[in-house]
């Protein structure tokens, strides 16, 4: 084992060889007896001691309550947004249905077209109101 590989293992796994991978330990124990190995393990041990001495400070007393309160406010906001978007979606579905119905009626409804239409002075949009015709009769 060379010094570079030993130092990389020491920085990754620490200064205690029993924490190292099993397959690396035999060669590492032999290299740890050299002066260079002892120096590398001493540096890794100092780093281990610094890391072991670090303590995470306790959170503030009101942190839990603030997290829950912010979570509830965010949930309420997401629900309002969802409600608005679902309303827009329903309106869009309604408009699409109305358009589809209009297209269906336009395409499938038969158009009544007379073969021959005569328009003269007595013809109106409501039928023929000529002088010799009864009022109830309608001829388009």
**Contact in structure between 99 and 107 (CB atoms under 8 Å):** no
pLDDT in tens, 111-128: 666 666 666 666 666 666
Q: What percent of the chain has pLDDT over 90?
A: 32
The 8 Å CB, 24+ separation contacts for 114-121 are 114/140
Q: Which helix (H) or strand (E) holds 124?
A: strand 123-124
- Our count of domains for the chain comes to 1
Does residue 85 sit within a domain?
A: no
Does residue 41 sit within a domain?
A: yes
Does residue 64 sit within a domain?
A: no
- Domain residue limits at 34: 3-53
Give the confidence band of 134 by pLDDT, cuts at 50, 70, 90.
Answer: low
Q: Which helix (H) or strand (E) holds 73?
A: helix 63-108
Q: Are strands 127-128 and 123-124 parallel, antiparallel or unpaired?
A: antiparallel
Does residue 11 sit within a domain?
A: yes
Does residue 126 sit within a domain?
A: no
Q: What is the mean pLDDT of residues 100-107?
A: 87
First CA to last CA distance, the chain: 108
Is the pLDDT assigned to residue 102 strictly greater than 70?
yes
Does residue 31 sit within a domain?
A: yes
Hey, is 27 helix, strand or coil? helix
- In whole angstroms, give the CA distance from residue 26 to residue 21: 10
pLDDT at 67: 86
Whole-model pTM? 0.42
Query: Which residue's entry shows tokens 């309303």?
Result: 87
Adjacent-strand bridge partners of 20: none
Does residue 7 sit within a domain?
A: yes
Residue 18 has what DSSP assignment? G
Is the pLDDT assigned to residue 140 strictly greater than 70?
no
Higher local confidence (pLDDT), 51 or 107: 51
């Amino acid at each position: 084992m060379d010094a570079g590989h030993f130092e990389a293992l020491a920085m990754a796994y620490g200064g205690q060889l029993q924490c190292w991978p099993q397959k690396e330990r035999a060669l590492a124990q032999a290299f740890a007896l050299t002066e260079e190995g002892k120096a590398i393990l001493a540096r890794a041990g100092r780093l281990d001691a610094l890391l072991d001495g670090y303590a995470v400070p306790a959170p503030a007393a009101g942190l839990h309550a603030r997290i829950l309160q912010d979570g509830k406010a965010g949930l309420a906001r997401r629900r309002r947004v969802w409600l608005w978007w679902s309303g827009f979606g329903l309106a869009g579905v309604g408009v699409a249905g109305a358009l589809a119905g209009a297209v269906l009626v336009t395409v499938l409804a038969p158009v009544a077209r007379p073969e021959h239409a005569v328009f003269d002075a007595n013809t109106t949009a409501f039928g023929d109101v000529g002088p010799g015709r009864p009022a109830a009769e309608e001829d388009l």
